[in-house]
A and B are shown apart, each in its own frame.
Chain A
Amino acid sequence: MRINSSLEKKLENYVVENKEKHYRIAYSYVKNVDDALDIVQEAIFKAIVSLDNLKNPEYIRTWFYRILINSAIDFIRKQKKIVVVDDEFISSFDCGTVDKYKDVDLYRALDELPDNYRSIIILRFFEDLKIEEVAEILDENVNTVKTRLYKSLEKLRIKINE
């Protein structure tokens, strides 16, 4: 009946060791410190409470990422994100280099991708996970993930080339 305490310990170590990674993922969804912290907190709660569902401790990473990303998406769903940064605002920060501008556009293009597309880019390229792991986390089949990945990259390029 009692929760396996070594599993609990493992989760504890895992979330402490990987807190920065988790925070960045959360932040990339909400773009705001407080909300990102809330999401990390929420994910840890959910993870502890549903530790029973972690069948194989080897998969703690994919299992936790899934909880984290679902928490982030839930969070966004409750408060429709508003893009407060308009072009005028950005140019007031512009130091005149063309590159800088490009960065902002590129990043914004990523932001404009639907959540399930953006998750793939983040997990695959920023967190260096395998396609199979990404599929596992997002609860999609591998082919769907692949298709979406190519579509996202295409979208990013199209946006950038505009």
Chain B
Amino acid sequence: MDENKIDQLKKEYINIPIPMELEFTVKKSLKEGKKIMNKKIYLKRMCATAASIAIVSTVLTIGVNTNEALAETLSDVPVLGGIVKVLTFKEYKINEETYDANIKTPAIDGLDNKDLQNSLNEKYLAENKELYEQFTTDMESLKQNGGGHMGVDSGYVIKTDTDKILSVGRYVVNIVGSSSTTFKYDTIDKENEILITLPSLFKDDSYIEIISENIIKQMIEQNKADENNMYWIKELQPEIKETFEKISKDQGFYITAEGNLVISFDKYVVGPGAMGVVEFVVPTEVLSDVLVSNEYIK
């Protein structure tokens, strides 16, 4: 064969210019990839825990899925009494060449407060059903318009599971062109069996200002440490009109096992997409004046 031509082609190939963003892209991908991985590990651990709790729980889940009467009988069996846990209740799956849906619905189990348990589980089911229906509708309309790629991945992570607190985060990753990620959290006091809301932790609304101020401070510090950490705040992006000013009253949050408050923002909300979902740990001493008590936040 003509070695010369191959050399010519190779030279062209080697001369493909390398864009500046490549390094950034690779590093971000590694970081985000690990986040996805951690979610998977959480899930695996969850399965292991569920399995160790005994086959009874599996039977129970199948039971709940198939037969309401059976579920009721089983829930009276005191084998698992007092163990509050999260199980995968229902899965929706679509696996076609260019369409991919993977929706896992969690269900909280073991609470004596059935009203709380049912209302959460019903909310999870309803939201995921809607997600699934939306996906199938979008998929059909895309198919009619010549096809394309679409994906949705939804599931849950147990952020915290101690004797006192259970924080469950549910995520939805939408992939149409670029991807967007949203996270929703529920935190339960396992002892008293109540749902903890963000406002319920504080004496009055002043927490909004206090937390927001602290987060903006952290954003600036992170940016100083590494300019790749970019946030949409006026201190860093004076030319942008819509900057992040303060958290909402019911901002997504969870409480860590150590008793720290973590505020979470969905992808794109406070920074460019490359930042992904961002979380800020708010130091407890900043909050001490407005906390109702130190029962959850320490």
Contacts and interface: CB of A to CB of B under 8 A. Distances in A.
Contact of B12 (A49, A107, A160): A107
B1 interface: yes
Given A3-B37, A126-B9, A33 B26 contact: no
B69 interface: no
Interface string B30-51: 1011101100110011001000
Chain B interface mostly: helix
B16 interface: yes
Contacts of A103: 8, 12
Given A19-B26, A78-B148, A37 B37 contact: no
A157 B1 contact: yes
Contact of A157 (B2, B10, B27): B2
A48 B37 CA distance: 7
B33 A49 contact: yes
B19 interface: yes
A2 B44 CA distance: 9
B151 to A, nearest CB: 11
A33 B30 contact: no
B9 A19 contact: no
Interface residues of B, number: 35
B145 interface: no
Contacts, number: 90
Q: Which of B27, B30, B37 has the most CB of A within 10 A?
A: B30
Interface string A52-79: 0000000000000000000000000110
B241 interface: no
A15 B41 contact: no
Given A1-B41, A103-B12, A122-B13, A45 B29 contact: yes
Interface in A112-145: 121-122, 125-126
A24 B18 CA distance: 8
A110 B13 CA distance: 11
B21 interface: yes
B200 interface: no
B34 A107 contact: no
A12 B48 contact: no
B76 interface: no
Q: Which of A33, A40, A48 has the most CB of B within 10 A?
A: A48
Contacts of B34: 8, 48
Contacts of B25: 37, 40-41
A28 B13 contact: yes
A41 B40 CA distance: 19
Interface string A84-126: 0000000000000000000100110010000000000110011
A33 B98 CA distance: 23
B13 A37 contact: no
**Nearest 10 A/B pairs, CB to CB:** A48-B33, A44-B29, A41-B29, A78-B149, A126-B13, A45-B33, A19-B26, A153-B1, A24-B16, A37-B25
Interface of B: 1-2, 5-6, 8-10, 12-14, 16, 18-19, 21-23, 25-30, 32-34, 36-37, 40-41, 44-45, 48, 98, 148-149
26 contacts: A1-B41, A1-B48, A2-B41, A12-B30, A15-B29, A15-B30, A20-B22, A23-B18, A37-B22, A37-B25, A40-B26, A41-B25, A41-B28, A41-B29, A44-B33, A45-B29, A45-B33, A48-B33, A48-B34, A48-B36, A48-B37, A49-B37, A77-B98, A103-B12, A125-B9, A126-B14
